[in-house]
Amino acid sequence: MQNLIPINIVIGDRSYRIKIDAVEEETVRKMAKKLNDQLATYKSQYAGKDMQDYLAMVLLSLVSEQNSKDNKSQPTSLDIDFQSIESILDKALQGKWLHF
């Protein structure tokens, strides 16, 4: 059986309590930090927007970065991050865990 642990992560000034495999904790926390760092960058550059605008900017930036990569043969850290996010979302959609 999987070793699910509850963790709290904060993304864009919102706290989310989720249950994940213990081995995924470091990856999830790194992804949350990366998102929050990019959110902070956009907040400092574009004052007066709301959090949804900043989140959209970050997502567009990540997708653009992903699409501009020429070397598709070796997975980049962003590929691995997206694969981890996809895996987590798949589990959530299957009802294996999702506690907000």
Domain boundaries of the chain, sorted by first residue: 1-55+77-100
With 50 as the cut, is the pLDDT of residue 100 above it?
no
Both tokens of residue 28?
């999830």
Phi first, then psi: give them for residue 74, nearest 5 degrees. Answer: -110, 130
Please tell me the pTM assigned to this model: 0.63
Q: What's the average model confidence in pLDDT over 68-88?
A: 66
Note the helical H segments in 1-93: 25-45, 51-68, 77-93
Q: Which of 40, 37, 1, 50 is nearest to 21 (CA)?
A: 1
pLDDT tens for 18-71 read 999 999 999 999 999 999 999 999 999 988 788 889 988 888 888 888 777 655
Q: Sign (positive/negative) of CA torsion 34, 17, 91, 58?
A: negative
